[in-house]
Amino acid sequence: MSQGELHAAERRTVLVVEDDESITMGLEMNLVAEGYRVLIAHDGEEGLARAREPGVDLVILDVMLPRLNGFEVLRALRAQSVEVPVLMLSARGAEMDKVMGLELGAEDYVTKPFGLAELLARVRAVLRRDARGRPARAEPTLAGDLSIDPGTREVRRDGKPVELTATEFDVLYCLVEARGRVLTREQIQTAVWGPGHHGTTRTIDNFLLQLRAKLEGDPVAPRHLMTVRGVGYRFVP
């Protein structure tokens, strides 16, 4: 990690919600070594309460937790408009679990067992995406009943705000910035997560489904977020 990244990490607080003591200790030790401030919660109820506290920059959230499971914690956070980025951990490798986590608003999903180097890279990537600001002077993009403001990272539909996670906005704005050009799934994945990301491109399909559900009048017949069969996606203003 560069000196600049270390200084940035020192200003970041990561909440680890995990009931396995050995995993908690390993994560805490390595995150602290990277310069992060670390908070710990050992069950879902405690994790939900701590995630609501001001100053938490990222939540590493296990799925299998006592009292409330990780999906219930994430659902409650998003229902209460707590938009702190969430990176989910799970021993399950089932695709539907990953889809559920992403649809509920998680920014990333890591399956156990995981390598600490990869997890730390994912943490840095999520925090970079969340902190990535657009110039305040940039004009909002208008598309039909949609207004997409890169400065405030706000999206409105018919004048009403639409809640997007940090990653949902990044995927959307990646397509907006392409100005009608078709982007492959690999291009979107690299632009949003960085070239070192090892996730499946199926994740992009899931994010497009989520965005259509939130932004399109008819998600089955979208007007703006278009599929180009055999290639990828493009945004049509």
> Which band of pLDDT confidence, cut at 50, 70 and 90, is reported for residue 198?
low
Spatial separation of the C-alpha atoms in residues 49 and 76, rounded to whole Å: 10
Task: Calculate mean pLDDT across residues 13-31.
Answer: 93
Q: What is the dihedral of CA 10, 194, 103, 232, to 10 degrees?
A: 170
pLDDT at 180 over 60: yes
Q: Quickly count helices (H) and strands (E) in the chain.
A: 9, 12
> Which band of pLDDT confidence, cut at 50, 70 and 90, is reported for residue 5?
very low
Residue with tokens 């180009």: 228
Q: What digits encode the pLDDT tens for the residues 108-161?
A: 888 888 888 888 988 988 888 776 543 444 578 888 889 988 877 889 998 899
> Which band of pLDDT confidence, cut at 50, 70 and 90, is reported for residue 11?
low
Spatial separation of the C-alpha atoms in residues 83 and 106, rounded to whole Å: 10
Distances (CA, A) of 220 to 59, 60, 216: 33, 33, 9
pTM value?
A: 0.58
Domain boundaries, the chain: 3-131, 141-235
Task: Give the three-class secondary structure for 213.
Answer: helix
Residue 92 has a pLDDT of 67
Spatial separation of the C-alpha atoms in residues 133 and 116, rounded to whole Å: 28
pLDDT at 48 over 90: yes
Q: What's the length of the chain?
A: 237
Q: What digits encode the pLDDT tens for the residues 215-225?
A: 999 999 999 99
Q: Check: CATH 3.40.50.2300 for 3-131?
A: yes
Spatial separation of the C-alpha atoms in residues 15 and 71, rounded to whole Å: 16
Fold of 141-235: Arc Repressor Mutant, subunit A (1.10.10)
Residue with tokens 């208008």: 142
Q: Taking the alpha carbons of 60, 65, 68, 71 in that order, is the dihedral positive or negative?
A: positive
Task: Calculate mean pLDDT across residues 64-87.
Answer: 89
Highest mean pLDDT among 88-97, 102-111, 117-126, 186-195: 117-126
Residue-averaged pLDDT of the chain: 84
Task: Calculate mean pLDDT across residues 158-173.
Answer: 88
**109: nearest Cα among 90, 94, 124, 127:** 90
